[in-house]
Structures are given as structure tokens and as C-alpha cells.
Amino acid sequence: MIALRRIACKCLMLILLSALPVKEGFSYESHHYFGGHPVSLSLKTQVHPCGKIRAQLYATTHALEAPIGDPVSSDCSRPLRIGLPEVRVKTEFNLEIESLTEKGWVTSGNIPLQVYPQQLLASLRDWAQENDLVVADSDGKLEQFLEKQNIPFVPNHRKRLEPPAVHISAGEGEIFFMEKSEGVPRIFVKEKKVLIEMPFLDRLAIDPSFQYEFVRMFQEIL
């Protein structure tokens, strides 16, 4: 059991670190979006020379790719608008880009897209409606997020935390956020306790990959 917990800790740390912001790229950076609506991607700095382009969205499953919708044509000086399908679980897509040259259409690169269900927080919301989710929040960031997402919680104003920090009690489990901005981002899982040492809450409201990991933390402790 101890060995399994150690494995779970390592896996969760690696998954979370992969969701951290990275330097803007083209062929290797994963972009994280909610499904069911279009997104705009700027390709001006990635395609040379910047001219006419077309893009095809593919669903990827192991070694297979299946096209989704029709190719989208544009001028790379303008953002490329791509419609993303709704998904039930986290799903990987690949956006393949071609540019028009004197020799015809040539591959310019690809953009991996991680797409998430819009109701990503539904399971946590359902649990909190039937159970006590107790939150001590030094700066109120998580409280504001939970209120906006209609997730019930019980504020704990008696617990004193050195800001910026958040402590969550859920059933027999605990999650403790230490919003440090220096050093190596770390996350620890031990039995029914999760400790996060990294800036997290500012990204939680805008980045579906952080919401995905937030839900996973509760899966570890409940």
C-alpha cells in the first residue's frame, strides 16, 4: 500500500507539472481548452513565410488519427479559428497545419490540443451538495472560485493561515495549498492528505488543466 501511494504521488506530480505554463511553442506545446466552442490560435510567428494556410483537426487514439470536421483555411497573419467538439472525458486532438508554397501545400507543423468536458467540476459539485467542504482561505481566491462555480462550501474563519495559503477539509481528507512562487513546484500525496507547493489558484479559474488536476486531488482523498 505504501509503495502504491508513492507511485500515485509521483504520477500526480508529473501530471500536474505537465500542466504548468511553458514557453510559447508550435510543435510541442499542448494547449488546454474546454470543448464545445471555437478557439483562436495565432500562427503568425510560427509559419514562415507567413501566407495562406489550412488546418485540419484530428482525434488521436493510440496510433490512429481521424479527421474532425472540414479543413479550415486562413491567412496566417490572422488568428486561426477552430471549432472544438464537446467531449465527455479529457481528450487529445492534433491540429495539423499546412502552408501554401510554390511547390504546393506543405506541412508546417502541428499543435497538440488537450480538450476537457465543460462540466469538469460536476462530480465535485455533486459531492459538495451532500457533504461538508470546509475551506480556510487566507486571500479568498478559492472561495471566489467555488462561489462562481456554484460549489457549496463552509468557510472556516477560525483557522489562521500565513498567506498565501488555503486549507481544505473534505470527509477524512485534507488538501493544503502553499502558493509559493519560488523554488521547484512540488505536490505530495500521503494517505488522505495532499500538499501543493506552487502557484495554483490564479490558474484554476482560467485553465481547464488546473481544474482537471483539482478534481483529481479530491479523488485522491475521498
The model's pLDDT over 160-189, given as tens digits with 9 standing for 90+, comes to 888 899 999 999 999 999 987 777 888 889
For residue 210, which of 150, 129, 141 has the smallest C-alpha distance? 141
In this predicted structure, the answer to whether residue 213 has a pLDDT above a threshold of 70 is: yes
Query: Residues 40-46: what's their mean pLDDT?
Result: 72
Residue 28: its pLDDT value, please?
A: 37
| Confidence band for 131, pLDDT divided at 50, 70 and 90 | very high
| Confidence band for 110, pLDDT divided at 50, 70 and 90 | confident
